[in-house]
């Protein structure tokens, strides 16, 4: 990062049009115990549904700041136009944020214009490169929290989103990467790793979301451990400029199956009762 191009609390390097067009697809995040959608993640796509790579490959270092801002604005505008009532989760690259107070202004203005409340915005930290200035990343998280936003670390457990981040950072949520979730109902090693992450998150007062859930077996095993916040193809693929409208029956059936199963050994129920608190907090 070079000097901040802030003028009157705006980042001038973010102004102007991009040389390509893009849109957003939305994938639901569900709570299996509540049998409902609790949030949607906005995922970049080409105008006709082309892959994220087809867009991201056009983002040069000179366009990084502008693209990051444009994604936030586009996601909020589309979510509002679609009548989304759940929380909206938006990915961002920490290296595309120079000053969190300045670089959030377009987001705040868009939210105010469409009437989107801050408490329904989640910012997912997506690290495609190592952030050398950990204090800068902590400053972003602290600033966003002070503004009423929720923060999450995406793809936790792989790449640069590893355990050492939590020595300095206090996000609201961790999203466990698909690489760990895959075959978790059958793979003992993955089960141990997931349980360890969940227990660690509980101690740190961080909520956990399992992403990349693709089978009923994975969904049920996770839910039995108290990990009821889930996302993945098992529930719905990302829908281009649309929300998921046909999940209610599947979520209700899944909950019926969950409730008919014996609790996992040594794991507390995820539903609080008298004298019983959830092993893994569910949060927002």
Tokens of 269: 């129920």
Tell me the pLDDT tens digit for each residue of 204-254. Answer: 999 999 999 999 999 999 999 999 999 999 999 999 999 998 999 999 999
Per-residue model confidence (pLDDT) at position 15 = 67
pLDDT score of 282: 40
C-alpha 178/C-alpha 187 separation (Å) is: 13
Q: What is the mean pLDDT of residues 248-273?
A: 74
CA distance 36 to 248: 7
Which tops the pLDDT comparison, 75 or 97? 75
Q: What is the mean pLDDT of the chain?
A: 87
Is residue 37 within 8 Å of residue 244, measured between CB atoms? yes
Rounded distance, CA 100 to CA 115, Å? Answer: 21
What confidence score (pLDDT) does residue 196 get? 94
User: Which stretches within 82-232 are classed as H helix?
Assistant: 100-103, 105-114, 134-146, 178-181, 188-203, 216-224
Query: How confident is the model at residue 134, as a pLDDT?
Result: 80
Structure tokens at 113: 């214009």
Q: What is the mean pLDDT of residues 183-188?
A: 97
Q: What is the pLDDT of residue 76?
A: 98
244-249 contact pairs (CB < 8 A, 24+)? 244/26, 244/27, 244/28, 244/37, 244/40, 247/28, 247/30, 247/37, 248/35, 248/36
Residue 183 vs residue 94, higher pLDDT: 183
The three-state secondary structure class of 6 is strand
Distances (CA, A) of 186 to 143, 191, 230, 233: 41, 8, 18, 18
Mind listing the pLDDT tens digit for each residue in 16-30? 789 999 999 999 999
Mean pLDDT of 79-100: 91
Give the residue-averaged pLDDT of 251-260.
95
Residue range 141-149: average pLDDT?
93
Q: Per residue in 27-73, pLDDT tens?
A: 999 999 999 999 999 999 999 999 999 999 999 988 988 999 999 99
Domains of the chain as residue ranges with CATH:
10-256 (3.20.20.450)
Query: For 13, how many CA atoms within 13 A lie in the half-sphere containing its CB?
Result: 18
Q: What is the pLDDT of residue 2?
A: 45
pLDDT above 50: residue 180: yes
Assess whether pLDDT exceeds 60 at residue 277: no
**Long-range pairs of 133-140 with CB within 8 A, sequence gap ≥ 24:** 134/168, 134/169, 135/168, 136/94, 137/94, 137/168, 137/169, 138/168, 138/169, 139/100, 140/94, 140/97, 140/100
Contact yes or no for 259/228 (Cβ under 8 A): no
Give the residue ranges of DSSP H helices in the chain. Answer: 52-56, 64-81, 100-103, 105-114, 134-146, 178-181, 188-203, 216-224, 248-260
Rounded CA-CA distance 281/227 in Å is 9
Q: How confident is the model at residue 157 (pLDDT cuts 50, 70, 90)?
A: confident
């Amino acid at each position: 990062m070079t000097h901040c191009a802030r003028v009157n609390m705006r980042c001038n390097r973010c102004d102007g049009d991009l040389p390509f067009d893009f849109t957003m697809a939305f994938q639901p995040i569900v709570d299996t115990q509540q049998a409902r959608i609790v949030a949607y993640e906005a995922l970049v796509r080409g105008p006709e549904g082309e892959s994220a790579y087809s867009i991201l490959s056009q983002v040069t270092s000179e366009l990084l700041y502008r693209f990051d801002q444009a994604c936030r604005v586009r996601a909020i505008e589309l979510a509002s136009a679609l009548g989304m009532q759940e929380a909206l989760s938006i990915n961002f690259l920490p290296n595309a944020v120079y000053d969190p107070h300045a670089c959030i202004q377009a987001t705040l203005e868009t939210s105010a214009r469409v009437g989107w409340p801050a408490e329904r915005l989640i910012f997912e930290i997506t690290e495609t490169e190592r952030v050398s200035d950990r204090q800068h990343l902590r400053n972003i998280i602290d600033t966003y929290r002070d503004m009423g936003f929720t923060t999450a670390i995406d793809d936790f457990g792989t790449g640069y989103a590893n355990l050492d981040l939590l020595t300095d950072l206090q996000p609201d949520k961790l999203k466990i990467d698909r690489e760990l979730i895959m075959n978790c109902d059958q793979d003992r090693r993955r089960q141990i790793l997931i349980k360890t992450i969940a227990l660690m998150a509980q101690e740190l007062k961080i909520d956990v979301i399992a992403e990349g859930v693709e089978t009923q077996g994975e969904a049920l095993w996770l839910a039995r451990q108290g990990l009821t916040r889930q996302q993945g193809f098992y529930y719905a693929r990302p829908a281009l400029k649309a929300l998921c409208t046909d999940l209610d029956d599947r979520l209700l059936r899944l909950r019926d199956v969950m409730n008919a199963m014996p609790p996992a050994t040594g794991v507390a129920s995820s539903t609080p009762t008298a004298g019983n608190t959830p092993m893994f907090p569910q949060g927002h």
